[in-house]
Amino acid sequence: MHDKKEIGGYFGLELNPEKKEYHPDALKLNSGRYSLQYIFQTKRYKKIYLPAYICDSVLQPIKKEGISYEFYSINECFEPIFDKPIKDDECFMYVNYFGINNKNVKNLISRYKNLIIDNTQAFFALPCKGVDTFYSTSKFFGVADGAYLYTDNTDHLIHLERDTSFDRMFHLLKRIDISASDAYDLFLKNGKHFDNCGLKSMSKLTEAILGSINYEKCRDIRNSNFSFLHKELSKHNGLNIDVGKLNGPMIYPFLNDKAGLKEKLIENKIYVATYWKEVRDRVSEYSFEENLVNCLIPLPIDQRYNLEDMEYIVKFIKSMLVS
């Protein structure tokens, strides 16, 4: 019975096999962008409509599969500005920005056919029945790769090669041993891996880590941290945010045009990203999307941090706003 199972020898990582993945019924793939490619290969769409406010990485599977694409704009409620009919061989993709636009997702279901929901920023949002929906794991947890996909065609999965990720964990390990800043180049290197690795199923290592996480605790911490930041910073935030039904957001989106604020945060080791510089090339000047690129500060609120950390962030930002 045990001829293929290794027993004894040196120890491996101490993961918790009693936990289970948050999306156990989804297809397990290697990356969010390749989830989109999986959809294209099974649904055979010829054109996709997608928001102009999106990372360029999403264009990789679109171009690789020879799909025609067209950008649309969003309003200040992150709702699509779009009134074209969707043809049978076309699809419409919407991003659940920051994990706080679930209401928009539900409204779109009745408006557009062949809808694809990009929940890479909304890991805890459950999919709507019959709607192709994909998620990213590395945007929420300490893994090198991984994605979940809900779709009605799973036959393609059996032909996929399984990914491996043991040799792309260095940035995660070095962050623990040394620091995030010292491991940042390794993080970027891992990101570039997905430009050419191709569509694969999720690695065993990533799957094992994701099966060892206390998801309820992670979600509760995110909700608590988000609520605290909003209570303290909402009057300085250019976005109108509904905090009534939080569900483990990715970050707290703080829209403020204070010059140099983002740079000062980074200088003081509060690391915040820019979403996404390439968007400027496809939107008009003074548009909402351009304002997001220039002035949005995605503040970290995830499970690594507590309210004391949030108080530090708030204190620093308020000191900058009055200076």
Q: Does a structural domain hold residue 152?
A: yes
CATH of the domain at 112: 3.40.640.10
- As a whole number of angstroms, the distance between CA 68 and CA 91 comes to 10
Domain-ending residue, one of 194, 210, 226: 210
What pLDDT score was predicted for residue 19?
75
What pLDDT score was predicted for residue 156?
72
- How many structural domains does the chain have? 2
Contacts of 263-270 spanning 24+ positions with Cβ under 8 A:
264/316, 264/320, 265/297, 265/316, 265/317, 268/316, 269/181, 270/299, 270/300, 270/313, 270/316
pLDDT in tens, 70-125: 999 999 999 999 999 999 999 999 999 999 999 999 999 989 999 999 999 999 99
CATH of the domain at 257: 3.90.1150.10
> In this structure, are 71 and 198 located in the same domain?
yes
> In this structure, are 243 and 174 located in the same domain?
no
> In this structure, are 227 and 174 located in the same domain?
no
Domain-ending residue, one of 176, 210, 244: 210
Residue 68 region by backbone torsions, left for phi larger than 0, else alpha for psi between -120 and 50, else beta? beta
Q: Does a structural domain hold residue 296?
A: yes
Q: Does a structural domain hold residue 4?
A: no
Q: The dihedral of CA 101, 102, 103, 108: what is its sign?
A: positive
In the chain, the percentage of residues whose pLDDT exceeds 70 is: 98
Q: Does a structural domain hold residue 15?
A: no
> In this structure, are 203 and 228 located in the same domain?
no
> In this structure, are 256 and 116 located in the same domain?
no
> In this structure, are 166 and 235 located in the same domain?
no
> In this structure, are 106 and 235 located in the same domain?
no
> In this structure, are 45 and 188 located in the same domain?
yes
Structural domain including 108 reads: 27-210
What pLDDT score was predicted for residue 9?
82
> In this structure, are 156 and 302 located in the same domain?
no
Question: What distance, in Å, lies between the first and last C-alpha atoms of the chain?
Answer: 70
> In this structure, are 69 and 107 located in the same domain?
yes
> In this structure, are 200 and 228 located in the same domain?
no
Of 265 and 184, the one with more pLDDT: 265
Average pLDDT over residues 207-233: 97
Q: Does a structural domain hold residue 48?
A: yes
Q: By the 8 A CB rule, do 160 and 171 touch? A: no
> In this structure, are 139 and 186 located in the same domain?
yes
Average pLDDT over residues 9-23: 82
Domain-ending residue, one of 182, 210, 238: 210
Q: Does a structural domain hold residue 153?
A: yes
Say what the pTM is: 0.93
Q: Does a structural domain hold residue 311?
A: yes
Q: Does a structural domain hold residue 312?
A: yes
